[in-house]
């Protein structure tokens, strides 16, 4: 693992040699607690954070509750972001809200409200006003693009510096309404033999990824590739597919990139996946990059033709990634073992 640290202006993906041993990267990243789905408030024990938590939750970080009296089900999730608020607060905020909204839509819930809390703004620093103003623009623009009401927004200034430098952070909460039970979609793969598709474009981008930060030790790089109009198109596509009941699972490509998104989908039902990377994209960017605007969906073979027809009408980029296996994980004909090997103690 490299200990090199680059600055944002200097960094380019060309500085990172394309890796030959994907298995080494996978098992190095497995110990990264940021890639585990953990609900801390459901467990007050003293047990340490473990990668065994990856993908355990069927709702994948989204809390569901029922309103008493009328049976309406609601969903809520909270997300935080600190990358580049000091240099590009508008884009950073738009990325955060896009991620949160896409996750809700993949679940089958319809987001309708967002609240935001901007933390650790230095009251004495002139850049504090720039961060607050940019985050406000990002919040308002993303809310308008995704049809969200802004329910609340607050800012917390730091008046003292004794605690040392603390990066500005924005925390947002998304509220959504959950449809009837039969329309509920979760991230987990359902059946061996289901086909796996990627919706959205793959790019040679590893910026601000866990792979770049944790494996290569490069903590400063630009924000991941992001275009809010592409995000809107992808989010409309997932709503259409769920409405037509053409998919059995859906996951936004998130932390850890495509590979760890697949892993979180495979673990709950002890399934695996056999995939072929895009030949036009670097393997590390394809598998571990965290560029925006991508989804992974599982499709029953009986509905594949309908799925392809629907996607052709939607006119959003998509491609076949592979299929769900009984438990083996294969990348480009290379076996990484079985799903039970992907947890601590295996």
Q: What is the predicted pLDDT for the residue at 61?
A: 64
Q: Could you tell me if 187 and 60 are in contact, meaning their C-beta atoms sit under 8 angstroms apart?
A: yes
Q: What is the pLDDT of residues 284-312, one digit of tens each?
A: 999 999 999 999 999 999 999 999 999 99
Helical residues (DSSP H) of the chain, grouped into ranges: 22-29, 89-107, 127-146, 210, 228-243, 257-266, 283-288, 304-314
Angle at 105 between CA 103 and CA 108, to 5 degrees: 115
Q: What is the predicted pLDDT for the residue at 52?
A: 41
Sign of CA dihedral 250, 342, 26, 48: positive
Tell me the longest C-alpha to C-alpha distance in the chain.
62
Cα separation, 95 vs 290, whole angstroms: 11
Q: What is the pLDDT of residues 11-27, one digit of tens each?
A: 899 999 999 899 999 98
Q: Give the architecture (CATH level 2) of 13-38+186-342.
A: Alpha-Beta Complex (3.90)
Low-confidence ranges of the chain (pLDDT < 50): 1-8, 37-56, 59, 344-346
Q: What is the predicted pLDDT for the residue at 41?
A: 44
Q: What is the predicted pLDDT for the residue at 280?
A: 92
Q: What is the pLDDT of residues 231-261, one digit of tens each?
A: 999 999 999 999 999 999 999 999 999 999 9
Q: Which residues, including other chains, have CB under 8 Å from residue 56's CB and lie 6 or more apart? A: 37, 267, 268
Q: What is the predicted pLDDT for the residue at 38?
A: 46
Q: What is the predicted pLDDT for the residue at 122?
A: 79
CATH class of 61-183: alpha beta
Q: Could you tell me if 201 and 117 are in contact, meaning their C-beta atoms sit under 8 angstroms apart?
A: no
Question: Can you list the pairs that 307-312 forms with residues at least 24 positions away whose Cβ atoms lie under 8 Å?
Answer: 307/197, 307/241, 307/246, 307/247, 310/240, 310/241, 310/244, 310/246, 311/197, 311/199, 311/237, 311/241
Q: So where are the chain's domains?
A: 13-38+186-342, 61-183
Structure tokens at 259: 């590979």
Q: What is the predicted pLDDT for the residue at 293?
A: 96
Q: What is the predicted pLDDT for the residue at 63?
A: 78
- Phi and psi at residue 235, in whole multiples of 5°? -70, -35
* DSSP codes joined into one string, 256-316: THHHHHHHHHHTTTT-EEEE---TTS-HHHHHH---SS-EEEEE-GGGHHHHHHHHHHHT-
């Amino acid at each position: 693992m490299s200990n090199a640290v680059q600055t944002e202006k200097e960094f380019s993906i060309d500085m990172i040699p394309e890796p030959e041993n994907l298995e080494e990267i996978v098992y190095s990243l497995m110990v990264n607690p940021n890639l585990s789905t953990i609900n801390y408030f459901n467990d007050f024990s003293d047990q340490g954070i473990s990668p065994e938590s990856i993908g355990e939750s069927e709702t994948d970080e989204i809390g569901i509750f029922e309103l008493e009296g009328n049976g309406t089900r609601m969903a809520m999730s909270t997300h935080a972001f600190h990358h580049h608020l000091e240099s590009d607060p508008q884009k950073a905020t738009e990325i955060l809200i896009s991620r949160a909204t896409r996750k809700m839509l993949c679940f089958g819930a319809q987001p309708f409200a967002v609240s935001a809390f901007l933390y650790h703004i230095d009251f004495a620093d002139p850049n504090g006003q720039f961060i607050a103003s940019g985050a406000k623009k990002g919040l308002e623009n993303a809310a308008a693009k995704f049809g969200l009401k802004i329910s609340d927004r607050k800012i917390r200034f730091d008046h003292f510096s004794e605690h040392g430098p603390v990066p500005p952070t924005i925390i947002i909460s998304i509220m959504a309404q959950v449809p009837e039970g039969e329309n509920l979609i979760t991230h987990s793969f359902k059946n061996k033999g289901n086909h796996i598709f990627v919706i959205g474009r793959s790019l040679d981008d590893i910026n601000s990824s866990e792979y770049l930060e944790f494996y290569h030790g490069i903590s400063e790089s630009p924000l991941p590739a992001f275009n809010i109009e592409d995000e809107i198109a992808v989010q409309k596509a997932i709503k259409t597919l769920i409405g037509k009941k053409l998919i059995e699972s859906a996951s936004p490509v998130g932390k850890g990139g495509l590979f760890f998104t697949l892993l979180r989908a495979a673990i709950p039902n002890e399934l695996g996946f056999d995939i072929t990377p895009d030949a036009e994209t670097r393997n590390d960017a394809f598998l571990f990059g965290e560029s925006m605007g991508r989804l992974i969906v599982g499709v029953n073979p009986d509905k594949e033709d309908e799925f392809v027809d629907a996607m052709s009408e939607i006119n959003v980029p998509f491609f076949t990634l592979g299929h769900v296996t009984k438990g083996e994980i294969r990348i480009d004909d290379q076996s990484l073992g079985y799903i039970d090997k992907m947890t601590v103690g295996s």
